[in-house]
């Protein structure tokens, strides 16, 4: 999959795609339905999205809400067969475009799209003035077709990123997965930490959750994909999301212990899938009690993941 961060001066081979357009935060089953409608036998499959998320641009001080960072989103879209990913830089200039200007300058002249699919609730252009129906009308004038995808439901409720965030906030990882169509994942680079886990017999891979919606703090059974480096592969693991109250820290992060793994993962990229919530974070009376609980967490995670 090719990733483009602009719409200007593209090679001819990178234009003319049939595209799905939206924010695609989470790449859930509703998003997949939009992407599936964009598939055409003789045209490349593309996705147009925005970076940063428009909500992040307009309300920079609001609490983190994103389900996926750009890396996770790109990995998921590639698995769905997307060939051209256009991550349009959402800035003041793009935000100021009217619906007519956006359709002409970006979609028609810049990307040369042949076909566009959007969800029924799609809005675009300055002050969100454009709707899916607006885009259909503009497409007829500018030479591309527009299909509007109906909202996807599960259990009588529309699937949405908001509903998925709620499930994750409550530790309902499998409910979130049912709406996503895949496990909720956090991807990123392994960072250097305080190396306390190594001293306790449980070395962990530390990853940032900055800018992301924080799932319920606590310990999870996780599936781990090592994406880079000499130890590429899939592993079982137990992970903690939170602030590590035992050590008086208050900045959330993700710490993952890879079961039956030996090696150094610093600087490598991991994808952590949250499978089951095991228990809340808590402070222990001492290190022996903490280690005993970690033994139990790993045994429980192993049993859950082996049964999948």
Angle at 118 between CA 117 and CA 119, to 5 degrees: 135
18-21 vs 115-119, strand pairing mode: parallel
Any residues with CB less than 8 A from the CB of 248 and at least 6 apart, and which? none
Q: Which of 189, 255, 281, 292 is catalytic?
A: 255
Would you call 249 a catalytic residue per the annotation?
no
Active site residues: 255
């Amino acid at each position: 999959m090719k990733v483009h961060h602009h719409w200007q001066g593209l090679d001819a081979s990178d234009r003319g795609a049939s595209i799905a357009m939206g924010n695609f935060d989470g790449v859930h089953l509703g998003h997949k339905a939009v992407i599936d409608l964009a598939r055409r036998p003789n045209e490349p499959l593309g996705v147009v999205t925005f970076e940063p998320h428009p909500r992040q641009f307009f309300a920079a001080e609001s609490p983190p809400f994103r389900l996926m960072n750009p890396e996770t989103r790109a990995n998921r879209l590639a698995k769905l067969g997307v060939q051209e990913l256009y991550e349009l830089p959402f800035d003041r200039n793009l935000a100021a475009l009217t619906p007519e200007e956006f359709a002409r300058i970006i979609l028609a002249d810049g990307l040369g799209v042949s076909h566009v699919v959007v969800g029924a609730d799609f809005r675009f252009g300055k002050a969100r003035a454009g709707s899916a129906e607006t885009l259909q009308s503009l497409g007829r004038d500018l030479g591309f077709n527009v299909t509007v995808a109906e909202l996807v439901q599960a259990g009588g409720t529309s699937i949405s990123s908001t509903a998925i965030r709620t499930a994750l906030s409550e530790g309902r990882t499998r409910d979130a997965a049912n709406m996503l169509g895949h496990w909720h994942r956090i991807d990123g680079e392994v960072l250097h930490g305080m190396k306390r886990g190594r001293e306790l017999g449980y070395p962990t891979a530390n990853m940032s959750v900055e800018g992301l919606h924080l799932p319920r703090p606590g310990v999870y059974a996780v599936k781990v994909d090592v994406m880079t480096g000499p130890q590429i592969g899939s592993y079982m693991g137990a992970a903690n999301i939170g602030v590590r109250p035992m050590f008086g820290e208050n900045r959330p992060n993700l710490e993952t212990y890879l079961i039956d793994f030996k090696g150094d993962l610093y600087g490598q990229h991991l994808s952590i899938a949250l499978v089951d919530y095991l228990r809340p974070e808590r402070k222990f009376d001492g290190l022996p009690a903490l280690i005993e609980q970690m033994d139990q967490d790993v045994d429980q995670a192993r049993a859950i993941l082996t049964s999948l």
